[in-house]
Amino acid sequence: MMRQALFLALQSVRWYRWRTLTIVLSLSLALWLPITVRLLLLQFRTDITARANFTPLVVGAAGSRTDLVLHALYLDTPAPAATTMAEAEYIQQTGFATAIPLHIRYRTQSAGGAPGVPIVGTSLEYFDFRGLRVREGQMFSVLGECVLGAAAAHRLGLRPGDTILSAPRNVLSLAGDYPLRLSITGVLAATHSADDYVVFTDSKTAWVIDGIGHGHQNLTQATEDDLLLSRDSDSITASAAVLPYTEITPENIDSFHFHGEPGTFPLTAVIAIPESEKSRTLLLGRYGTERSLTQCLKPPEVVDDLLRIVFRAEQLVLISSLVMGVITVMLLTLVLSLSLRLREAEMQTMFRLGCSRATIGMLFGAEIVLMLTAATILALVAAWLTRLIAAESLRTLLF
Amino acid sequence: MILIHDLQFSWPRDGFRLSIPELSISAGETVAITGASGCGKTTLLNLIAGICLPQSGTLRVADTVISDLPDAARREFRLRNAGLVFQDFRLIEYLTTYDNVLLPCRLSPAVNPTADFRARASALLAQAGLSAHSRKSVTRLSQGERQRVAICRAILLRPPLLLADEPTGNLDPETAEQILNLLLNQAAEHGATLVMVTHDRSLLSRFRRVIAFESFRRGPDGAGP
């Protein structure tokens, strides 16, 4: 009997196709929204916690915990208050952990119609730590070289052998952060993480962009007068016409030097990789007692705090979806009851021919089940497609 | 085929009351029932089909006392023993012509649309001159064609009783004649009893017996035929 009921129900939903389509689409939309929100948030949670769980400790200047951790994890959030290279040296000296410096204050200039991407100054340990390998070309080896994340290379349309300019943080800055032309030596293999969307260079190159290190023409008695403010037998005073180099080449690399103590050079964060659980605890203890101007954070804890807020927002979205769903179901109930009233004659005919009221109920029930099934399948497929399409956008939001 | 004795039926809401002291219709007989609108002709068909139940009296159809049957058995009895034809055809618009004819097979777990019934549906449509329309929606058929589909549906399960409620009421005289021919032929072919309500006096001569229904209405003393 069920087969016959399904046959009649199928014929009916085909015949009343516009009514069926309206009901199925309405139900699908009502189901799609909460399912999609749930899937995307699960994806968000998976992405964000996976990277946090893989990053043991983050050290940086005292301030917002969330800003510091997100900055160290996703490499593109606003730079928190600067710490210094001394912090990385301190961590190394404790012997508890390997310190990986991060300097993320600059972006590249736009290229290939795409906006600039962050420039991450770090050490080679970062690449081992994140499991990054060069897909094309080779790793940077001297000052002024860089490698691109896979997505960054794609967006900017650049490959090894090309160059890219850094963008000054402030166009009105007269103090030194001139654009530096970086030579691209390699492109990293894609990891579908924040590392794909940035340019990596050595910390020292980042400090050159910062204006802390620079190279310039040596001033000699032979230097042309228009480059000098004054010249006497003992000294030569250069004018502003003597510019720092904006590109580090084999010819000028030897002239590059840094002013100041290396320990004072700025970093925006340090990733600490403890040797063991005990080392981790001891390092955290040190930061709890000895380093009041800095903080040592466990990224999973900070991310959990963040997710609690996000998932509170999710509850609101789900409640709104539920209310919308109830309204939709009420409206559909009204539509269906009006539709049944219009089909009263059909029901009467079936009854007169010898059909039981229970069977008639089964026929109409089968129609509702068919529409519900179609709506559920449609909603699930749409949610799955949305997740596929939105996953990349979600990563872009994160990274 | 049909035996009625001292049957009383009423609709309490509008005061309608039907009383039939005696009525007997033999198997294979063709009977036309006439009478003014509202006199109870359709009610009698509903009583014979077991759609309504009398308040008192005996109604025996094919040796079965309909009023003694429980609901489910009465429906089953109706499905198998009474082919119903309505004035307004009562076809299911979302089914094809062919599927409308097969409908009785789809309405009860006791009857399935087996290959036999499928072949029979096709044959009936061929007899009714509707083969070319079998895959069409019934909404694309003319009034006469629709009524022929309804007749095919009524006789699909070879019921011993055909109950037709003004089947020619919405049709032009020529089509009405064709429909009556089809009904009478099918009844004769299957040896079925045909009870047809009609207002069309021109058709009465085609029936073996005509019952003027006024005699039953509110007539505890009215004489039966």
Check CB contact under 8 Å for A353 and B72.
Answer: no
Q: Which of A97, A123, A101 is nearest to A286 (CA)?
A: A97
Q: Which chain A residues are closer than 8 Å to B105 by Cβ?
A: 4
Rounded Cα distance between A393 and B55, Å, is: 74
> Alpha helix locations (H) across A64-131?
65-74, 85-94, 125-130
| Residue B200 scores a pLDDT above 90 | no
pLDDT at A256: 84
Query: Which token pair is B208?
Result: 């073996």
pLDDT at site A220: 65
**What was the pLDDT predicted at B220?**
42
pLDDT single digits (tens) A298-352: 999 999 988 888 778 778 888 888 888 888 889 888 888 888 888 888 898 888 8
pLDDT band for A242, please (50, 70, 90 cuts): low
CA of A327, closest CA in chain B: separation in Å? Answer: 30
Is residue A216's pLDDT more than 90?
no
Coil vs helix vs strand at B164? strand
List the single residue in B51, B109, B137 with the smallest CB-CB distance to A352.
B51
CA pair distance A59, A101, nearest whole angstrom: 9
For residue A272 the two structure tokens come to 């600490």
CA distance to B138, B150, B194, B206, per residue, from B183 (Å): 19, 11, 8, 11
pLDDT surpasses 90 at B12? no
Q: Supply B35's token pair.
A: 């009478």
Pairing of strands A294-297, A257-258: unpaired
Contact B104 A353 (CB under 8 A): yes
pLDDT in tens, B21-52: 888 999 889 999 998 888 888 888 999 999 88
Query: Are A7 and B79 within 8 A, CB to CB?
Result: no
Closest to A302 (Cα-Cα) out of A99, A88, A82, A48: A48
pLDDT at B96 over 80: yes
CB-based burial, A271-281: b 16+ in 10 Å, e otherwise: bbbbeeeebbe
Interface contact flag, A355 B107, Cβ < 8 Å:
yes
Q: Which of B69, B86, B89, B106 to mutate to test the interface with A (most CBs of A within 10 A)?
A: B106
Torsion of CA A232, A238, A242, A247, to 10 degrees: 100
The alpha-carbon gap from B135 to the nearest alpha carbon of chain A, in Å, equals 13
Q: Which of A211, A158, A209 is nearest to A181 (CA)?
A: A209
| Highest mean pLDDT pick, A231-240, A372-381, B82-91 | A372-381
State chain B's mean pLDDT as an integer: 86
d(CA A21, CA A6): 18
By Cβ distance, the residue of B80, B84, B106 closest to A352 is B84
Please give the pLDDT value at position B221: 41
CB-based contact B107:B79 (threshold 8 Å): yes
Query: Between these two residues, B185 and A241, which has the higher pLDDT value?
Result: B185
- B27 vs B73, B189, B220, CA distance in Å? 22, 13, 27
Of the candidates A157, A396, A142, the one whose C-alpha atom is nearest the C-alpha of residue A254 is: A142
Q: Which of A66-80, A187-201, A310-324 has the highest mean pLDDT?
A: A187-201
With an 8 Å Cβ cutoff, are B90 and A12 in contact?
no
Torsion angle, alpha carbons of A268, A208, A176, A115, to 10: -70
B90 to A14: CB separation less than 8 angstroms, yes or no: no
